[in-house]
Amino acid sequence: MYLKSRLFGLFLLVLAVAQGPFLRANTIVNYGTETPPQFSGPTFVCDGITLINTDYNDRDTGYCFTGSPYTDVVSPYTTAMSLDIVLVTDVLAPNLSLTDITYPTDDAVAFDGVKVWAGGNINDVSADLIEVGTNELGQIDQWYIVVDGAGPLAGYTLTTIWDGTTGSTVISDGLLAENLNDPGSWSEVSPTPEPATGVDLALGLLALGALLIGKRRVAQAPRK
């Protein structure tokens, strides 16, 4: 009986080790309403966006833009929708004047309520400019972001601006959605554990429990 418990425990340990890479290799990311290919890497969650940073630099600082609801829209947009963005870049220094971070930015994805703006296999877009400024705490309090669509988004532009006093967010093909007074705000987000972490821990604990039960039964067994 002890041998069976021990073998079962070893089996679970092997499964836990093997399961991690399998789940990471098959992680599905939800960019708003679209499902991209399977990726692996640091994961950043912001409102309706989950971004897995697959860039080779693997920067681990994310900045989340939560947009205010649009005030003027053309269908299929509604005033219940807003723009959300995740940027993965270097840690931003405090008291930063408006600075171009287009190229230090590893990865970026935006969801405007209808369309996904991202690179790679989702929608090819060109981030013409990503400029940000920060306050004394290193929080983004100024920005100027302009993105031109390509591929499925050809002809569309995404612009969000805030100079500390006034700003706007506009999704345009002519005009589709905008907020001309209160575009939104930024917060810093840390990478979350990859989906495999919880499974690995559960399997590992189960395996440890099986091994301990087996050892206890051996200890309690009457000696002949």
Region 161-186: mean pLDDT is 95
Cβ within 8 Å of residue 45, ≥6 positions away: 51, 189, 192
The pLDDT value recorded for residue 124 is 57
Top-confidence residue, 11 or 79:
79
Q: E strands along 122-173, which residues? A: 125-134, 140-149, 157-162, 167-172
Given a cut of 60, whether residue 109 has pLDDT beyond it is yes
**H/E element, 50:** strand 49-52
What's the pLDDT tens digit per position in 51-78? 766 654 556 788 999 999 999 999 999 9
Top-confidence residue, 98 or 49:
98
Region 86-104: mean pLDDT is 89
For the ranges 21-25, 83-87, 130-134, the lowest mean pLDDT is seen at: 21-25
What's the pLDDT tens digit per position in 12-40? 444 333 333 222 222 233 444 444 444 55
Region 202-216: mean pLDDT is 57
Average pLDDT, the chain: 74
Taken in order 204, 26, 35, 124, the sign of the CA dihedral is: positive
pTM for the model stands at 0.68
Residue 35 to residues 67, 73, 143, 150, 187: CA-CA distances in angstroms?
22, 25, 28, 19, 25
Given a cut of 70, whether residue 145 has pLDDT beyond it is yes
Question: In terms of Cα–Cα distance, which of 125, 130, 83 is closest to 105?
Answer: 130
